[in-house]
Amino acid sequence: MASKASIVFAHGLWADGSCFGKLIPALQSEGHEVYSSQHGLDSLEGDVACVTRAINHVPGPVVLVGHSYGGTLITKAGTHDRVGALVYIAALAPDEDETSQDQQNKFAPTPVFQNIDITDGRIWLREAGLADFCGDLPAAEQKLVWATGAVPVPDLFTQQVPGTAWRTKPSWYIVANNDRTVNPDLERAAAERMGAKTYAVDSSHVPMLSHPDVVLDAIRDAAKSLEA
């Protein structure tokens, strides 16, 4: 085993790799190789391939960290033999017979989807939707999130590729109790289903920005499990 695990991040909708900007410097200062996948939300297959390239780019063993739809990506890409642990942040984690949308359909819809527009073949978050996405951040940070977010194709959540890494690999899960984008009941059920070590925090959908210390604790714990 390497002396320090590498950390690979996978972002979700209306986000990019900068959403992990409060985590990356701390992990780098502790000696971890860190890389954040920059995928375009054009297709599930393409996004999984992008995360896989990021895994290949860093030395193993790898802790794979996914936020929101990024949880679907780490569930698929995490079957890679160099991935040793998975960390889910307010994330989807569909089983082999589910799509991301199938998993969401089992729970009540969340308010954020009342503030979206479909134009130019993409699903755009309205500025009014920031309250449901990242409403516990200062106003300036909310505007930064809105300005840097990647925009998904409309059928992204109904696409499917094989792979369910949490069935065979140890998992950690951060539940955002005040989430208005992914239903917190979905998050709790997902964490229980995968047998994850679970952290709960009174956060919006972006605990890596509003409560970075909690998320760092989970990532550090996952990394230590690979460095023993």
Residue 30's identity, in one-letter code, is: E
Residue 76: inside a domain, yes or no? yes
Residue 1: inside a domain, yes or no? no
- The domain in which residue 185 lies consists of 6-227
Question: What total number of domains does the chain contain?
Answer: 1
What pLDDT, on the 0 to 100 scale, is given for residue 3? 78
- CA–CA separation, 10 and 69 (whole Å): 8
Run of H or E residues at 194: helix 184-194
pLDDT tens for 189-199 read 999 999 999 99
Cis amide leading into 61 (omega within 30): yes
Residue 184: inside a domain, yes or no? yes
Residue 112: inside a domain, yes or no? yes
- Phi/psi for 220 (5° steps) reads -60, -40
Q: Please list the ranges in the chain whose pLDDT falls under 70.
A: 1-2, 228
The CATH number of the domain where 220 resides is what? 3.40.50.1820
Residue 100: inside a domain, yes or no? yes
What pLDDT, on the 0 to 100 scale, is given for residue 174? 98
User: Closest Cα partner for 205 from 166, 227, 226, 177?
Assistant: 177
Residue 123: inside a domain, yes or no? yes
Residue 147: inside a domain, yes or no? yes
Quote the pTM value.
0.97
What pLDDT, on the 0 to 100 scale, is given for residue 102? 98
Residue 207: inside a domain, yes or no? yes
What pLDDT, on the 0 to 100 scale, is given for residue 51? 98
